[in-house]
Amino acid sequence: MRRPDLSALSVKTRSRLLGTHERTGVLPAAARYLVLIGIGFIFLYPLIYMISNSLQSPADLSDPSVTWIPTAPYWDNFRSAFGALDFANALKNSLLAAVVTALLQTASTSFIAYGLARFPIPLKKLWIVLVIATFFIPVEITSVPRYVLFYRYGFVDTLLPSYLPALFGQGLNAAVFILVFVMFFQSYPAALDEAAALDGAGRFRIYLRIALPMSRSAIILSLLFSSVWYWNETAQSQMYFGNTFPTLMHRLSEFSARYSGMMSESGAASTSPTQAIILAGTMLAILPMLLFYLVCQRQFINSIDQSGITGE
Amino acid sequence: MKQNDATRRRTLTMRTKDRLAGSVFFLPWLVGFLLFTFYPLIFSLQLSFNAYQLLPDGAVMNWRGFAYYSQAWNEDLNFKLNLGNSLLFIACATPVVMVFALIIAILLNAKFPMRTFFRAIFFLPVLIMSGPVISRLLSSYTTDFSANTPQIYEFINQLPNFISRPVLVILNNLVLMLWFSGVQIQIFLAGLQKISPDLYAAAEIDGAGGWEKFWKITLPYMNPLILVTTAYTVMTLSNYTNNAVNRQIQDSMFQTSNLYSLSAAMSWIYFLAIILLLLAIYLIFFLFGRRGKHAQA
């Protein structure tokens, strides 16, 4: 009498469940998804809460049976928030403050880094240490003196306090970008530069035509992250040009006051915004960045992978 | 001989030219550094020791010694409290961010369906992290932990103070802390992808399990990257606008009775505290790294 080959079966199921060298088993895969979905939910919870609540009408908000899904999307919240944010104008200011500064920062940090990466500058070690050191100076220390400086030259209430430091490699987290560019410029063969020099190209031309195209990912990294960081920076920019070029973030931080002002002007009974309206305002303020991320998501992530920070 | 001399002279001038060209490329940084970083640093230090007065014909400085430092430290009722809270937040959030980022990066470091989707989700907070958004989304609704689950709160409160305080800080700000780990996750993931699979295969042949592979291969390889990322995390957390001490420094900047000076003194105390914190972290890494090498030898 032959016994059924149970052991072979159990080995097979076992390997399917727990996985083998080549394949991930069902159980580890399920555990991975469980943890990722769980933590992902905690991560996104504030956003889900915001989307759900910003679409609820006052009736839904006070109805205890409505928790997540509004009975019908209520767009009035967005209409009021749109006005209180002065959306179109604030968006234009945000773009001026973030994108233009990011362009300047990318141009200057790559230019500076090319000098550090490719030429024998006197005291080079000291300069690199100083570049790194600038990253560790809290913004609070330099903000008042910079304000006084800009005030003296009449730059307060213009965008120059944002542009000028970026143009001279002292912008927000500029040290990070300088170091990334240095690593990129050092990683391609110097023979390329030398060949171009033999062909009669000047040094600036070599930087423009060879070094920069060889470092596309670094440029993308610098442009994307500078834009995002400047977009979300509020404390400094509020001081420098919050009155004349209020960005979306400035408008959001004074949202309740502006909403009340708008309402009392129109003679409404209740002037303070409901939580739904505040959340609709928040949603509108981050919407441009969310759309931007939707389009450039791959570039963001690839640029970190290729940043060279992991050391090649 | 003569020819040799000539080539040497030519290479020499080439070298001088290179130095000159490099300096031209680097010059903008030096100018910017002197104008927008070094001068402000000196000026801020000066402000913290002097009373600053705006007169019709210019500004005047009057020497006050350590008066503003002592005012911040001894007289101001909130400063020490805010400083302590901010430092406690940074000291608690940094390890949370690092451990969390490493775990997520390890989970994401494999081929599986929807991987890009999850990567994108964990990076999302970086795009929307700003003072006003955080205060709308995280602070306003964040479930007050102590109110929602009083039993656990009671239990933690019974523990000694040096355990219960950090635990409560972490539990109350968990989502906020996780939102700070977007960049770190991607950096770790990039680092993990660089570790050669052969190393793990060799370790498996020697009979190493997942746990051992993590401690003997992954962690030592990631150690330099973790140090850099930790420093980055500390600076991001300390520059975070909504943090208690930053808010107080900003609020007291334009206080007319001690214009700029008090806030300058406060920011230098804060700066010093952060430097000490960074040094402590470096020391921990140094000791840990040495012990690791010892164990390997």
Q: Give the pLDDT confidence of A102-135 residue by residue, as tens digits.
A: 999 999 999 999 999 999 999 999 999 999 999 9
Is residue A76 over pLDDT 50?
yes
Average pLDDT over residues A150-161: 93
Chain A nearest-CA distance from B284, in A, is: 19
pLDDT 10s digits, A246-301: 999 999 999 988 888 888 887 776 778 888 888 999 999 999 999 999 998 888 88
Instruction: Decide if A59 touches B, using CB distance below 8 A.
Output: no
Q: What is the mean pLDDT of chain A?
A: 88
Give pLDDT, residue A173: 93
Cβ distance of B270 and A140 shorter than 8 Å? yes
One-letter identity of residue B150: P
Asked if the model's pLDDT at residue A10 lies above 80, the reply is no
Is the CB of residue A234 less than 8 Å away from at least one CB of chain B? yes
Domains of chain A: 28-74 (no CATH), 88-305 (1.10.3720.10)
Instruction: Tell if the CB–CB gap between B26 and A285 is shorter than 8 Å.
Output: no
Q: Which residues 159-198 of chain A have a CB within 8 Å of chain B?
A: 164-165, 167-170, 176, 178
Name the CA dihedral angle for A21, A23, A27, A30, rounded to a multiple of 10 degrees. 130
Decide if pLDDT at B15 tops 90: no
With cut-offs at 50, 70 and 90, classify the pLDDT of residue B297: very low
Pick the residue from chain A with its C-alpha nearest to B30: A168
**Using a CB-CB distance cutoff of 8 angstroms, which residues of chain A are in contact with residue B145?**
none
| Residue A27 at interface with chain B, using a CB cutoff of 8 Å | no
Q: Do B127 and A234 touch (CB under 8 A)?
A: no
Range with the poorest average pLDDT among B74-78, B87-91, B134-138, B211-215: B134-138
Q: What percent of chain B has pLDDT over 90?
A: 44
Is pLDDT of B80 > 70? yes
Domains and CATH numbers, chain B: 2-63 (no CATH), 70-129+180-296 (1.10.3720.10)
B61-76: average pLDDT: 90
A41 has a chain B CB within 8 A of its CB: no
pLDDT band at B132 (very low <50, low <70, confident <90, very high): confident
- For testing the chain A interface, which of B50, B127, B173 should be mutated: the one with the most A CBs within 10 Å? B127
State the average pLDDT over residues B167-195: 89
> pLDDT tens across A17-44, in order?
766 666 667 888 888 999 999 999 888 8
Outline where chain A has alpha helix (H): 6-18, 26-54, 58-62, 76-85, 87-118, 124-135, 139-152, 160-167, 174-187, 190-198, 203-206, 212-214, 216-232, 235-241, 248-253, 255-265, 275-305
What are the pLDDT digits (tens) for A206-236? 999 999 999 999 999 999 999 999 999 998 8
Are the Cβ atoms of B123 and A300 closer than 8 angstroms? Answer: yes
What's the mean pLDDT in B74-97? Answer: 93
List Cβ neighbours of B284 (8 Å cut-off, separation of 6 or more). none
pLDDT band at B287 (very low <50, low <70, confident <90, very high): confident
Neighbour-count burial of A40, counting CB atoms closer than 10 A to its CB (0-12 exposed, 13-18 middle, 19+ buried): middle
pLDDT, greater one: A64 or B144:
A64
ipTM exceeding cut-off 0.95 for this assembly: no
Mean pLDDT, chain B, rounded, equals 86
With 80 as the cut, is the pLDDT of residue A66 above it?
Answer: no
Residue in chain A nearest B226 by alpha carbon: A310
For A158-196, how does the pLDDT look when each residue is reduced to its tens digit (9 = 90+)? 999 999 999 999 999 999 999 999 999 998 888 888 899
Q: Which amino acid is at A197?
A: A
> Are A98 and A230 spatial neighbours (Cβ–Cβ below 8 Å)?
yes
